[in-house]
Amino acid sequence: MADKAMGFDDVVGRLRSGMTIGIGGWGSRRKPMALVRAILRSDLDDLTVVSYGGPDVGMLCAAGKVRRLVFAFVSLDSIPLEPHFRNARESGSIECTELDEGMVLLGLQAAAWRVPFLPSRVGLGSDLFRVNPELRTVRSPYPSRDLEGVDGEELVAVPALALDAALCHLNRADARGNAQFLGPDPYFDDLMLEAADAGYVSCERIVDTSELAREGCVHTLRVNRLFVDGVVEAPNGAHPTSCDPDYGRDEAFQKDYAASGKNAEAWEGFRAEWLDLDEAAYQEQLARR
Amino acid sequence: MTSSRATRAEVCAAAVADCFGGDGETLANPIGTIPMVGGRLARATTEPDLMMTDGEAALIADHEAFAWPDGPTVEAWNPYRRMFDVVWSGRRHVMMGATQVDRYGNQNIGALGPDPRRPQVALLGFRGAPGNTINDTTSYWVPNHSPKVFVAEVDLVCGIGYDRAAALGPVAARFHETRRVVSNLGVFDFETPDHHMRLRSVHPGVTVDEVVAVTGFELARPDEVPESRSPSEDELRLLREVIDPEGRREREVPDPG
């Protein structure tokens, strides 16, 4: 029986510079921040990052880890605009593939189902075609149901977003890779894992498989071990983002983080204080804060 | 209290409520304080079948905007992913914000400057604007009307307006409708032959010249521009006592006095 429990460095050791990495969560909610911090400590770079973006994106951009960002938005929720993401875009330090947030879903789903694209109306007429010259449309081979005599409707061919690896943080998991969300929203974590060649889940607590059904109803068992290659126990591992119902967002910390987007000196200060230390030291320092 | 004059924010809320008129059993998705208040007002008065979110993963059956003394009444689970099922099936009317909105109703929330790939000012991103506007009715809320917001042409088309819809043709754009723009100064629609933005009404205390002076393009307008309606006594009571007793609406759009 496969035991997939591992440490942060084991996950980082399986990643390579230049990879395309999907990051779960949404905005500043249930982000795999402990895994992101492990990447920040590593010498990985040149990454393509796919994310419903929050501070994961901001920190990776600020640390120079990102070559290309695939996104529909990046936000800290209670702070609408992510300062490091803005800096990276305005300075031109990253390349961008911009999408509608529904296209991100379709792209992940296409990759998960191993088809090269999924059709959608989303994006027609918008400047997504101006900023993504490689985006293509496709003509339907079928008549349109709601329009008499219309054949060959043109739709956007939303390209598959195949990931080399996906990183997600869930509330509970077992050591075999089954994982559970206990908050109100699964976000897109299961799709991220299914779209990836390798999936890594951090969780608040690793429990026995038999415990999972006691923690929440069967609908919360959204991630199964077919799509997971490694499990890391990371208590408070989504900090400073929310991880309902285990804890909410650390708004005070997030404010300090956002202030580090002011200039290079502020970022270096934040980095030295909070990111140039291992996860255990980070959590200890946080507990003293 | 309810007999006093309506504030500017309350006029805006009534104008927002009117945007949802006739929508029936639709997911009304007003984003922003006054849109939320106005959407709840519509549901509490003329549009009882509207569905609305709690801003997280649930649809809430209660009319109150922000406070549920006994907890909200959840009527459906609606995580983020589920919203696409609603939007792509054409069952939503969203009221979004707009960093820029132009004369044909194109909206920009992504980037400012001539080259969006190297923005002078990076904003949020396209978010869901392309999908919202090609699939559903969309309205916009602008709490601070200025020529920087109401521009002749947006720098980046996130939400598509009527010129883009016309270029797509009647098949691709058959679900597109940009219904209204509500600002702190007036109400705007696209009910003109070429769907050029029209001044529909000015809020009480605002002149047409004031609106023209802070709009970066020529507005279509009738010979006589009507005044936006003030909420009824019953609506004022709902706004002040039930929907927004804390007066959040007044902080978003302060009353000019």
Are A57 and A24 a contacting pair, CB within 8 Å? no
Structure tokens, A74: 């990046």
Residue A37 pLDDT more than 60?
Answer: yes
- % of chain A surpassing 70 pLDDT: 100
**Could you tell me the residue ranges of all domains in chain A?**
8-99+161-282, 119-159
| Residue in B85, B94, B134 to test binding to A, most A beta-carbons within 10 Å | B134
Report how many domains make up chain B: 1
CATH number for the domain spanning B118: value is 3.40.1080.10
Residue B2 lies in a domain: no
The closest of A32, A52, A199, A69 to B83, measured between CA atoms, is A52
For A112-135, write each residue's pLDDT tens digit. Answer: 999 999 999 999 999 999 999 999
Residue B19 lies in a domain: yes
Single-letter amino acid, residue A225 = R
Residue B256 lies in a domain: no
Q: Which helix (H) or strand (E) element contains residue B180?
A: strand B177-183
Taking the Cβ of residue B171 and every Cβ of chain A, the question of whether any pair is shorter than 8 Å is answered with yes
For A84-118, write each residue's pLDDT tens digit. Answer: 999 999 999 999 999 999 999 999 999 999 999 99
List the end-to-end C-alpha distance of chain B, in Å, as a whole number: 16
Whether the ipTM is more than 0.85: the answer is yes
Residue B257 lies in a domain: no
Residue B3 lies in a domain: no
- % of chain A surpassing 90 pLDDT: 96
Residue B79 pLDDT more than 80?
Answer: yes
Chain B residues with beta carbon closer than 8 angstroms to that of A103: 130-131
Pairing label, strands A230-233, A163-173: unpaired
Q: What is the pLDDT of residue B1?
A: 46
Residue B198 pLDDT more than 60?
Answer: yes
Angle, alpha carbons B42-B48-B53 (nearest 5°): 75
Residue B231 lies in a domain: yes
Taking the Cβ of residue A188 and every Cβ of chain B, the question of whether any pair is shorter than 8 Å is answered with yes
Q: What is the pLDDT of residue B68?
A: 63
CA distance B81 to chain A (A): 7
Structure tokens, A207: 């429990």
Cross-strand bridge partners of residue A20: A48
State which residues form the domain around B74: 8-249
Domain A8-99+161-282: which topology?
Glutaconate Coenzyme A-transferase (3.40.1080)
Residue B255 lies in a domain: no
Taking the Cβ of residue B123 and every Cβ of chain A, the question of whether any pair is shorter than 8 Å is answered with yes
